[in-house]
Amino acid sequence: MKKLVLAFLCFSMLCITQVFAQSHSVTGVVTGKDDGKPIPGATLRVKGQNSGSQTDVNGKFSLTVPDNATLSFSFLGYLTQDVSVAGKSSLTVVLVPSNRELDEVVVTGYQTKTRANNTAAISTISPKEIADKPIPGIDNLLQGKAAGVQITTENGRPGANAFIRIRGTGSVNASQQPLLVVDGVQIPDAAAPEFYNTLNANDVANISVLKDASASSLYGARGSNGVVVITTKNGSESSNHISYTFQYGTNRKIPDNFQMMSAAQKLQYEYDLGYTNGDLANYLSANNLPTDVTQITDAQRQTAFNALIAQSHNWQDDILRSGKIMQHQLVISGHENKTNYYASFQKYDEDGIVVGSNLNKYNGKLNLSTEVKPYLTLSNNLSLGERSTNETRDRYNAQNPFYAIYAYNPYEKVYNADGSYNLTSQGFPILEALKNNPENQKYLNGYNTTTVDFHPIKGLSISSQIGLTLNDYTREYFIKPGSILDNYVGDPAAPGDKTDNGSRDFNYDWINKAIYRFDVNSDHHFTILGVQEFQKDVFTSYTLESKGFPSPDLPTQDNASANSGKNSTSYSAYTIASLLGEVDYNYKGKYFVTGSIRNDGSSRFGANNRYGTFGAGSIGWLITSEDFAKNITWLNVLKLRASIGNTGNFSGISNYQALGLYGFGNYGGKSTAIPTQIPNPNLTWEKKLKRDVGIDFELFNSRITGSFEYYNETTSGLLFQLPVSQTTGFSAVYKNVGGLYNKGIDLSLNGDIVRNKDVKWSVYGNINYNKNKVTSLYSGANEIASNGVGVVKPGEAIYTYKVVRYAGVNSQTGAAQFLDKNGNITETYNFDNAVVESGKSPNPKFYGGFGTSVSYKGFELTADFTYSYGGYTYNNVYQNLDAWGSNYYQAQSTLALNYWKKPGDVNVLPKPDAAGADQTYVTDQYLQKDDYIRFRTLQLAYTLPKAITQKFKVYSLRVFLQGQNLLTINPHHFFGDPEVGIGSVESGLLIPGQNTLYSYPSTRQFTFGANITF
């Protein structure tokens, strides 16, 4: 028995020895061929197994591997390299930089492609370009980052959305915004602005902007204005990390170039016009003097002036403040047991630059992906965020604090002697309203995608995805009982008024797709995509309004004594059913052909045009893969591509626009049905034909990269309301008529000026040239007015200005002069003499961005600039502050002092008249070029060496300082901020860049932040 046991032990030891003999330890270092510098964090894996490791801070590694194993080394920006370890115990691995443009992965929404295989016009934005910025909305962070993409911020309020235009304005009445796709889910257009705001920029892994037909026609009836595709992060298979980021900062209103009159100047101006203000009249009356300033002596007048000058102050100091920004973010990510996970939580708080304006934002995300079987993967992406804002009024009177700071006179006090608020010359104290007329808006946004990926055979991927999105909006506006506004507009018998309104937009998107990739004879490479998609959206809304509240502290609707008769609810829904097919083919990685076709059916459109087919084709030629180009050492990549196709514009019209509708009322105590809309069974989407030619290139060891694109896009079947005979009982009906085009050039350049072991210096720049023109309207329409200053007119750019031409001042009489339609001078203003200012519209001819980044060891300095050239804005604020005497009772700029005083005066304003006979008019005097270059962002960051942080069990530690909107170069002396978004929400001036009218101003921000990762 002992012999048997001994024999067994010897056999076991031999087996164990053999097992250990089949594995051995390998050490080494990984460096980059471009600079010879060690690469920390490079991933090495045993091919065919899950085991692996990462290089340390010095690029070194140590790993026990099977004797005949092959190690795969990879790192972002370098080619993956496989190395056999048979008979080797020490390795030096040199990774070769990849052709960055060709190896970059672009996401089209339905699949991913490498840049080498892509034949479409797609701009990509890396997460580094938008991370750690103190701006809550991703849409605003894209400004200046991609050629052909124009981003215009609505205004400067906390959480403001942005207008996004891809290659110009493509519609008049339908939507002009691109489609937003997040993790494969198409976000409803009404909800898209809030999703940009709710998403956390630090959760973003990739942003692709689909511009031409080859890319955007994949989305058919929703791809007309381009597509923004956002993909969020997943956990890394190579490491597990916990990361915390903190930011704190302040913001202030960007100083403008309006020089306002001092109290002394304004009082003298009023006297010269023969006007006695209320404060002055009260002073004179209290001192037993005539209350007409022109009826007292010079000494008495100066004494009275001095009394008012002594109480003067700057209203901006009283109403505005320094805002605060604070942000916390926690991220947990990694890989465990074949499951990738990424979880994040963000809290963002911003106090606006005026009391009563702030933003509180919470956002959470959980992305999971698990390999159930080698051929089956299950993933789920969940994001949920809440955004709460306290709002100020955006209207053209003193209820708007940004109107008030320019309207209140400097000699008017904030408070009366008894402590009550001074009504001022405007009759309304904004500081009281900011406390007693609060408005709060809340947005709850979320989406969830659940995806099953099945790989039954090599090259074939079949997936099914269910995407759910929710956009929940609530608003409360309370005019407190006893407030000054309530005294003006409320019901004395039922003081106080409360409005609650809101909406819910729920959407589900079911996508089934198959992708098959295969080769024929190793030279012919095919990718076939098939998609079936169904989408349904349900929108509900409500409005509740009541009056008669017993106390300002009891604001809920159940405390009201009566309703205001404005209560309502609504429901609407739409569906889209789609089929999509796409084929990609390339021959030897040199010649590329792509073709796609999509059929959409939508419930929104007429029975005769409910379905539409959209298709596109593109070709590409990678010239540098040809033998004749391989010896051109300075030319790394040269690729030609071209595309053509058509898309549709589904968005921006109501769900039931094609139907005959009825409304219900009461007649004689009985319910009645009344026709409210004429049916149009032929109503359908606007159509756009897109053509594009492009060149991609990399030069000098990929130190210079870029692309050049020419595009020509023609929109037809524009949606307009056509007038109909009044005998029908209606005034208009929507039809597809009219057209316009956008054509232009996109150019982007990137350069690595210095690229060595310790120093890196890179620059980038992009520019878009766009020419927009309306080609036709409906029969009988020569032009369509736009906000009183612009028109939509064939032969002109959309929203071209139409105003009366100002001809200066009659030097002998001081009367204002204008030009009639024939160019003759007249002193009578008549808007019928307005002419179209050809070439002058809010649309810039050129726009884009440029910047630079310099790094030295752990230090990094980045600077970003944006610019716009060739656009015009009608400057209503300039008009109000330079008002020819018509606004004599409110504050004025010093420009108004330069008026006609005697015969012979030239280059002056018309003679003012306090009686109101003179006033400013809509003329080209206030039409200004809004060209600018803005120093958008400057950031200085320092990352501690890993040799230091690893001593404290810290993976990385980074601190940074940054400034936003630091400087604006304004070559044409635009009065105010030349980067104009909307004019005023409540005045309906919503066309970007068309008007200025006291909307929330942009701010300058300074922030400090730190990121620590374990």
Residue 100 banded pLDDT, cuts 50, 70, 90: low
Take residue 360 and report the two structure tokens written for it.
């509180």
Distance (Å) of CA 784 to CA 249, 722, 774, 792? 46, 11, 11, 5
Alpha-carbon span 470 to 186, nearest angstrom: 12
pLDDT at position 670 is: 84
Q: Rounded mean pLDDT of 948-973? A: 93
Angle in degrees, 0-180, between the axes of helices 263-272 and 298-310, rounded to the nearest 10 = 140
Q: Is the pLDDT of residue 700 over 60?
A: yes
- Cβ-based neighbour number of residue 576 at 10 Å: 20
The per-residue pLDDT for range 759-803, each reduced to its tens digit, is 999 999 999 999 999 999 988 889 999 999 999 999 999 999 999
The per-residue pLDDT for range 201-229, each reduced to its tens digit, is 889 988 999 999 999 999 999 999 999 99
Take residue 453 and report the two structure tokens written for it.
């990926």
Is residue 319 within a helix (H) or strand (E), and if so which, with residue range?
helix 315-319
Share of the chain above pLDDT 90, in %: 74
Of the given ranges (182-196, 853-867, 960-974), which has the lowest mean pLDDT?
182-196
Distance (Å) of CA 895 to CA 695, 814, 940? 50, 16, 40
Take residue 920 and report the two structure tokens written for it.
């400013």
Pairing of strands 70-74, 43-46: antiparallel
Alpha-carbon span 269 to 264, nearest angstrom: 9
Alpha-carbon span 176 to 292, nearest angstrom: 55
Alpha-carbon span 418 to 955, nearest angstrom: 62
Contacts of 756 (CB under 8 A, 6+ apart): 35
Q: Rounded mean pLDDT of 112-128? A: 86
Domain boundaries, the chain: 22-97, 235-262+312-443, 263-311
Take residue 187 and report the two structure tokens written for it.
């976000």
Share of the chain above pLDDT 70, in %: 95
What radius of gyration do the chain's Cα atoms show? 33
Under CATH, domain 22-97 is a member of which superfamily? Carboxypeptidase-like, regulatory domain (2.60.40.1120)
Residue 57 banded pLDDT, cuts 50, 70, 90: low
DSSP state string for 464-531: EEEEEEEEEEEEEEEE-TT-HHHHHHSBTTB--EEEEEEEEEEEEEEEEEEEEEEEETTTEEEEEEEE
Contact 359, 389 (CB under 8 A): yes
* Triad 704, 706, 708: Cα angle to 5°: 145
Between residues 63 and 681, the one the model is more confident about = 681
Q: Which amino acid is at 540?
A: T
Q: Is the pLDDT of residue 259 over 50?
A: yes
659 HSE (CA, 13 A, CB side): 10
pLDDT at position 640 is: 97
- Cβ-based neighbour number of residue 48 at 10 Å: 10
Which residues, in sequence order, are bridge partners of residue 1008? 248, 961
pLDDT at position 52 is: 66
Q: Is the pLDDT of residue 12 over 50?
A: no
User: For the chain, what is the mean pLDDT?
Assistant: 91
Take residue 962 and report the two structure tokens written for it.
């940054």
Of the given ranges (57-71, 313-327, 817-831, 950-964), which has the lowest mean pLDDT?
57-71
Of the given ranges (28-37, 387-396, 513-522, 697-706), which has the lowest mean pLDDT?
28-37
Q: Is the pLDDT of residue 14 over 70?
A: no
Residue 2 banded pLDDT, cuts 50, 70, 90: very low
- Per DSSP (E only), the strands in 254-375 are 323-336, 339-351, 358-373
- Per DSSP (E only), the strands in 521-610 are 524-547, 562-563, 568-587, 591-602
Distance (Å) of CA 814 to CA 498, 829, 830, 905? 50, 15, 19, 8
Residue 668 banded pLDDT, cuts 50, 70, 90: confident
Alpha-carbon span 668 to 675, nearest angstrom: 18
Q: Which DSSP state fits 830?
A: -
Contact 768, 167 (CB under 8 A): yes
pLDDT at position 77 is: 63
Indicate the burial class of 665 (C-beta count within 10 angstroms; 0-12, 13-18, 19 or more): exposed
